[in-house]
Structure 1
């Protein structure tokens, strides 16, 4: 590799001397203003410095990016090469098939098929296949796991072959966790170190993934995003990703979340704001004093929903919270030393005294203004304040009933009417009710607005201990007051990793969640991607025969009509505590 600007230098990490390609050295050489760049563009600039070859990366590319200014934008193509590729089983299997096909072709040509291997580290997490067939009992997890293996045996045998035969290809087996949460807790390096030319070289961890929510790891200060299968395979084989230098939208956070508001409420607010701003094909980067009040788990929740507000990524810089999370999740002390020392030497470490970078545009949010919210009934950007959720559903119901499909809930109009002491005009005759015979033999009633699925699901929220503990505490209070989930609600708990199960058990909260029907059904995406499994037959028949507008409340990230379950038309995204609350209520009418 070339080093036109002589930026290769060293820094001390504990008692080690580590090499790196230095942005401060580049700036001292008079090349642009790297210190003023957004964190995300600094990471891209280092990628170019380290990979300068005179062809795909030239000195001109480096100069152009180092001189980036939002007021003087030039359309510059750059070639970025991620450090690793992240796969999940649905989108990863085609990549494995292509590797097998290339090996077959190599054998036919008389070569050694074992020479066909990825040139970058590849990690595949199996999480997309588990379905909620069994629920509401202690055997649910085992039943669902057995059915998963039975349905996917051939696919899993292929993946196991790849794990055993292909170099630089790691697999995390089924029933261990969701890819993005496992990436956050276990796989992400933040700073990578490798031996090169007889010395240790450090550089930022970067990745692409075959899932749009790869951006969850942005909360840890790791730059990465979702790509298509062809791009992922190209990256696996050492090919760079060509991209225009993006616009970077700064999102300034101040204050701190008030009591009663959660990271889920925050991300739904952020999603609403950024959808209005328009950030497609742009980077979003968070900054400001409010970052000090957000844990990495909170940041990861925000990063996770980057696809929902349309950005390529949604990144947070490295700071003390990053190091605290790495320590909490068992990374070694020597690695913590490396991350801190590298980030500080490279100008990537944020403190409260850090100057604001240059941005294309800036949005601002006072965390203290965030209120409890849901989003729905069909789009994640359609935030509904909890205080008007009932009225908002009433407003949306007429459109469902008339067969026009759910329209944008007129939240602003509802807020105005409620604030003025009035209500929302509804037509009583459109609300339909029907009875069915429950499992106990009792006659039970379903109606438009009945919640038939309440799922604590998705890495978006199960990765966050504060909201998961909150759900457990609410369950405890409910059980102590003699409350139970309504019998028509299909309840499920699908943690993003086994760590969640461990801390809920240690906190003594698992038994309360289970008493409300929230038994662990699997470690995978489940309801969030529509693997909700069947509703009880009497309930399904009742909904179908009477064309009821049934509802789901889930702690996921997408809620398009029909995505969660074919019979459920209105889907609301909510925090895990609110999922528990709606399971107790059994209806949107509270």
Structure 2
């Protein structure tokens, strides 16, 4: 319970219920001048003040928020709940399971181990597009997915029944962020145990968690260790952020979609520079945006670089809550609380922001983004030109019409394509006046197994995917895609045979309203059959291309294209055969699937011809905003949300038939290659041991500047000749069944073997190598093998690094793998804040070179024997602010980066999980 130095407790009565709230006016803050998101942080501190970790001074610092100040004051944020997806969530539940075993080993009651705040896990990252464009694609993909991931699902099915405060949304129900928006998000959280009401807030183990910001809920993506801390009721460290205000005016015009708006905003915010900042939308234009449009913006926060991108609560929020099936009581509480606490949107109010931008929504034009970054927006009018410029730079395989004679190129008239569509690149459309080449020229014949033959070229679209939470939560763009498909089919158009098409909605509500509107048959006729309810293409689960197409692309070096309604298009992410990836609205995805190429001007060149041979332009089939709105109003119904979410945790027959065994403690199997009992708690006592110096240590890796968590944490494919590959093969797993590091995060044996294994890692102890190598006893060997030899010898290990160590995404295995390899301390020039926190959370001591000191200036080779002394010399049993390092004949002081009382406690206990476990086992 809060110590409440500000006497802020009061009662809010809503209907016949009374709630205890913490009044923001008690802080003396000028609330209208504070950004909405800062008000939410202020309430969080006020309610959780304990006088030690969260103090009255922290509250005063936020109440007196200075938007111009560079972030340097650390505060602790305590989220109301935690959201997990299956890839990142499995290891968190594995840790809960092993903590129960550890409590039992200490003589306690294992059932005390449960999340202390509500935790929801949505299985959405495992479905892959193996089968497409056939009526039973969904069923076939679901069967393959279940077979691949059965061990993981068996474990999560057990967790669903074993833990209190933990729920699982089974596979093929929806995408985590769409389920969060449509069902899990509460806006105002009513705590039944304490009787308190407070703003809903969360952290999630997926970077696109800020999608919930569209509903007015503060939430962002974190790594697994921060999420586990929050699960156990521990606050998360953060700096008081700067807030950039984004003013919206006007309304979207005819033909512009929410996707076009978000790509425009992404470009603007990336140019402005908002990394690590909050973004907050304000102004008269906010009221014109429905919640799905707002959520589309919030979803792209990682692409902006901001921590969150939030909208305040207003009438649109309440209307959406009612429409999606929230209770009358929840809606009434949300309205009363927001108005009482000054959290209700006042469009005439302009809070004090660090900086501001303005966008007139009427200026938004149809757009796409690519080919490798979400912020690289291209107006649709310039899409053909932009794509050609990229391919010219990449391949040089482009020839102008003036030079065409005698050169390998298409003939004057392109060959017919299936479906009666001629002239996909009409020869009469010549772009010579602006210096652009007339045509791409790498024509490659492809003969399919089914007897189809066609020509494939640079710029051809081989993947067209309506996928990802970014857009599939938005009925206007989804209905727009369906109407465009209907109009196209009515005109006799079909998709090109080389395009792998897929429809992967984020909620079953989408297919409900598609069926009600009668649009599903038209999408299916264009190949957009339902392939599953999950992230699919946007996270790289696009599945393999047909072998003949893949072979042609790789044999000829074709620059093939994917188009998707997602949020990420980084190089190599979507599929191994695709070089250019473009983000766009669902209707444009359908249009490009029909065109079959990006080498087309959709405004001036026909998509194809109708049955009478007449050209069909995109304008002929593009639905109007009014038509889309009419269908949305008629086909999207409240009862669809109520019915679909009534049994959201039940799952299909496959899920229900997964056997559950083990009771409150999981029955670990040595045979499993997906789920193994981690060794974090081996030998742990009821009390923390005495702090001790680190002596006789050796350096495992010596790294330069800007080493990211992607360099440290295992990710992507598992190579057969790697330590992880050897382990799996020894377990009888064939390389074709390796799956990925992401799918095997519940097996520490696999993950520790991949730590520091990135193919681009440069360990200075093994010069001339790239990847997971080091040198031990004069021999180059894998980092894993060397680490295990050191562990066997009883030799502690150290990592040396430069500036910004651990930059990038907050990956829990970057810290978990480090401790499992036997690393006791990291000495770096500087740290990314969250990775430093994660190291502490796993019991690794983060040390920092003094100003002016570097590895080079101190003459460190990494071959010395290291000792770190003075660790136990601080007051009150704490580690002092600096300690002494001896490296061979060199001695120097370093700063200890345990910056808060909580971090001191976590390190003293050997990590945050040990701290929580001892606390619970003693009760």
TM-score, structure 2 length as denominator? 0.60
Contact 1:24-1:35 at 8 Å conserved across structures: no
Kindly indicate whether residue 349 of structure 2 is the aligned counterpart of residue 370 of structure 1. no
Whole-angstrom CA distance in 2 between matches of 1:439 and 1:299 = 45
Deviation readout 1:110-164 (Å, 9 max, x if unpaired):
2221111111111000000000001101100000001111000001111111111
Match of residue 167 from structure 1? 164
Counterpart of 1:504? 514
Matched, 1:387 2:384: no
Corresponding residue for residue 470 of structure 1: 480
User: Per-residue deviation at 1:422?
Assistant: 4.0
Q: Does 1:347 align with 2:342?
A: yes
Distance 1:23 1:45 in 2: 7
Task: Quickly say closer, same or farther: Cα 1:36–1:157, change in 2 above 3 A.
Answer: same
Specify which of 126, 136, 141 is matched with residue 139 of structure 1.
136
Deviation per CA, 1:527-564: give whole Å up to 9, x if none: 11010111111111111111111100000001112111
The superposition leaves residues 422-449 of structure 1 with CA deviations (integer Å, 9 ceiling, x where unpaired) of 4243496x73110111355242110000
- Residue 230 of structure 2 aligns to a residue whose secondary structure is helix
The question of whether the paired residues in 1 share the 8 Å contact of 2:69 and 2:242 is answered with no
User: Shift of the alpha carbon at 1:72?
Assistant: 5.2
**Structure 2 segments unaligned to the other structure (5+ residues):** 398-430, 601-923
Partner in structure 1 of residue 418 of structure 2: none
Q: Would the aligned equivalents of 2:282 and 2:347 in 1 still touch at CA under 8 Å?
A: no
SS in structure 2 at match of 1:195: coil
Shift of 1:14: 2.5
Q: CA deviation at 1:589?
A: 1.4
Q: Which residue of 2 aligns with 1:400?
A: 394
Asked whether 1:58 is paired with 2:59, we answer: no
User: In structure 1, what is the equivalent of residue 436 of structure 2?
Assistant: 425
1:113 and 1:302 map into 2 onto residues whose CA distance is 43
The residue number in structure 2 matching 1:246 is 241
8 Å Cα contact 2:207/2:221 also seen in 1: yes
Task: Please tell me whether residue 213 in structure 1 is matched to residue 208 in structure 2.
Answer: yes
- Hey, what's the Cα distance between the residues in 2 that align with 1:191 and 1:393? 46
Q: Deviations over 1:262-299 (max 9, x none)?
A: 01001100110110111111000010111111110000
Asked if the contact 1:394/1:424 (under 8 Å) is kept, the reply is: no
Structure 2 distance, partners of 1:71, 1:112, is: 51
2:292 to 297, 301, 305: 297
Unaligned runs of 5+ in 1: 404-419
User: CA separation in 2, counterparts of 1:164 and 1:549?
Assistant: 49
Give the aligned CA root-mean-square deviation in angstroms: 1.5
Check whether the contact 1:395–1:424 (CA below 8 A) recurs between aligned residues.
Answer: no
CA distance in 1, matches of 2:394, 2:590: 25
- Cα distance per residue 1:387-444 (max 9 Å; x no partner): 11001111111122159xxxxxxxxxxxxxxxx994243496x731101113552421
Aligned 1:438-449 pairs, distance under 5 A: 438-449=448-459
Q: Give the C-alpha shift of residue 73 in structure 1.
A: 5.7
CA distance in 2, matches of 1:517, 1:74: 50
Give 1:18's aligned residue: 19
Q: 2:269 aligns with which of 274, 281, 298?
A: 274
Choose the corresponding residue for 2:258, options 257, 263, 266. Answer: 263
CA contact (8 A) 1:122 1:169 kept: yes
Q: Does the residue aligned with 1:477 lie in a helix, a strand or coil?
A: helix
Tell me by how many angstroms 1:106 deviates: 1.6
Per the alignment, do residues 548 and 71 of structure 1 end up closer, same or farther by CA in structure 2, a change over 3 Å counting? closer
| Residue correspondence of structure 1 range 476-495 to structure 2 within 5 A | 476-495=486-505
| Alpha-carbon distance in 2 for matches of 1:352, 1:229 | 37
Query: Offset of 1:8 from its aligned partner?
Result: 1.1
Following the alignment from structure 1 to structure 2, what is the Cα–Cα distance between the partners of residues 472 and 173?
Answer: 27
| Alignment match, 1:410 | none
* Higher relative contact order structure (alpha carbons within 8 Å, sequence separation ≥ 6): 1
Q: Which has the larger radius of gyration?
A: 2
* 3-state DSSP of counterpart to 2:588: helix
Q: Which residue does 1:334 correspond to in 2?
A: 329
Q: State the partner residue of 2:914.
A: none
Look up the match of 2:196: 201
In 2, distance between residues paired with 1:195 and 1:467? Answer: 38
The answer to which structure has the higher helix fraction is: 1
Distance 1:508 1:74 in 2: 53
Q: CA deviation at 1:196?
A: 4.9
Structure 1 residues 332 and 3: CA distance shift in structure 2, 3 A? same
1:76 is displaced (CA, Å) by 1.9
Give the match for residue 5 of structure 1. 6
1:13 CA drift (Å): 1.6
The C-alpha deviation readout for 1:443-474, integer Å capped at 9, x for no partner, is 21100000000000000000000000000010
Pair 1:569-2:563 in alignment: no
Q: How far apart are 1:201 and its partner, in Å?
A: 1.6
Deviations 1:239-274 (A, max 9, x none): 101111000000001000111000100110011011
SS at match of 2:579: strand
SS at match of 2:372: coil
CA distance in 2 between partners of 1:73 and 1:225 (Å): 21
How many residue pairs get aligned? The number is: 566
1:478-557 to 2 correspondences below 5 Å: 478-557=488-567
3-state SS of 1:177 partner: coil
Distance 2:44 2:267 in 1: 32
Preserved CA contact (<8 Å) 1:281 1:311: yes
2 CA distance for matches of 1:299 and 1:71? Answer: 27
Find the aligned partners of 1:421 and 1:248 in 2 and give their Cα distance.
47
- Alignment CA distance shift 1:108-1:15 (3 Å): closer
Counterpart CA distance in 2 for 1:313 and 1:348 is 17
Is contact 2:71-2:241 (8 Å) kept? Answer: no
Of 537-546 and 358-367, more deviation after overlay is shown by 537-546
> What's the CA shift for 1:32?
2.9
Asked if 2 retains the 8 angstrom alpha-carbon contact of 1:485 and 1:517, the reply is yes
Aligned CA distance change for structure 1 residues 110 and 196 (closer, same or farther; 3 Å): closer
For residue 77 of structure 1, report the CA deviation from its aligned partner: 1.4
Using the TM superposition, give the Cα deviation of residue 513 of structure 1 relative to its aligned residue in structure 2, in angstroms: 0.6
Equivalent pair of 1:395/1:426 in contact (CA under 8 Å): no
